[in-house]
Structure 1
Amino acid sequence: MKKSIKNAAIILLAFVAFSCSDEGNTALKKSSIGEIARATPQLSSFVEALDITGLTSTFDNAGDYTVLAPDDAAFDAVLSAFSEPDLATLEADYPGLLAKVLKYHVVSSSVLSTSLSNDQSVSTLFEQPLTVSIIPVDSANPATYPGQPNFISFIGNNTTTPSSANVTARDVKCTNGVIHTIDAVLIPAGL
């Protein structure tokens, strides 16, 4: 639990340091989703997956996206589940899988956590929806995300492989959208 809190704090600190939401700092206002992801050590596997699939430029250029960025531990769990040593080997053994999975983590508009509602269906670029689960944080049980009014999860429609992820850092505003960091890689149905 301490490790989860520490990881969430590090991710949040990196996002605050590089977030584009600071109106008074024009250098920060020019940070894209790709730039912030590259500047966040816990998202190095996400960045590597973007590079392998050729999707990096999508998140460096203009656009309006919400990215659910799995942290490094989430990608490690996927590599372990597939018995693969690294993402490049995973892509070589399962061509196209990474691009499909990454598109399942992207919404084609900016969606802040305050705009989400419980049981809301969110369309992804992979054209399979995710369902939002929002649980208010009880003051007697603040979960592992202190200071947050609620606990947010995204739930996939894959019935053969459980596919849900908890938001560990939210609402990182960028020039081309917003990032929410999640603790699992969501696997769409049929993969």
Structure 2
Amino acid sequence: MKRRSALKALAAFGAVAALSACATTPRSPDIVDIAAGNDDFSTLVAAVGAAGLAETLKGDGPFTVFAPTNEAFAALPAGTVENLLKPENKDQLVAVLTYHVVAGNYPASSLAGKRGALTTVNGKNIHVDGRNGVKVNSSNVTAADIRASNGVIHVIDKVLLP
């Protein structure tokens, strides 16, 4: 009887230890986690939240995100960001943000030296020119290959408009 109780206790301890190990194992940051952890993306993070896209961008992916910085958003005509963030303009905001996302994993090495188009999540193409640095439409990739658990982020210096 004592042996059976001891085995049950050990089994229970093993299950608790396994659950504890799972609970304390850190998961790799996803695209949203990385953007939220970088002050240069606070406008992008606010827009993703307002558009209701955070859960999507936390999904399995993989995604390639061409992420405009706060400076890129600030370069838009006065009032543009504030207007896009209004609840009545959510569809327009979603269209702009999904124009920055491509399904699939496209590291800089797959873009360098090439020209072509990638279809964005919003269904429209962006034009990529990797012959002299990497340009996406009229924006420049200023930092490439920020790895996330569900894809890759490339920092761009202009907001892409569909």
TM-score interval for Structure 1 and Structure 2 normalised by the shorter chain? 0.7 to 0.9
- TM-score scaled to structure 1, two decimals? 0.66
1:63-103 Cα distance to aligned partner (Å, 9 max, x none): 2100001000111122xx1x31753x433264421110110
User: Which runs of structure 2 are paired with 1:20-39 in the superposition (5 Å)?
Assistant: 27=26, 30-39=28-37
| CA contact 1:110–1:177 (8 Å) conserved in 2 | yes
What's 2:79 paired with?
Answer: 84
Distance of 2:90 and 2:60 partners within structure 1:
28
What's 1:180 paired with?
Answer: 154
Question: What CA RMSD, in Å, does the superposition of the two structures yield over aligned residues?
Answer: 1.8
5+ residue gaps in structure 2?
1-24
What's 2:7 paired with?
Answer: none
What's 2:72 paired with?
Answer: 74
What's 1:58 paired with?
Answer: 56
Q: Measured at CA, do residues 95 and 63 of structure 1 come closer, stay the same or move farther in structure 2, by a change above 3 Å?
A: closer
| CA contact 2:115–2:131 (8 Å) conserved in 1 | no
SS of alignment partner, residue 180 of structure 1:
strand
1:56, CA displacement in angstroms? 0.9
Task: Considering fraction of residues, name the structure with more helix.
Answer: 2
What's 1:131 paired with?
Answer: 127
| CA contact 2:51–2:90 (8 Å) conserved in 1 | no
Amino acid at match of 1:70: P
| CA contact 2:73–2:81 (8 Å) conserved in 1 | no
Larger Cα-atom Rg: 2
- TM-score scaled to structure 2, two decimals? 0.77
What's 1:102 paired with?
Answer: 97
Amino acid at match of 1:181: V
| CA contact 1:38–1:44 (8 Å) conserved in 2 | yes
The aligned length equals 136
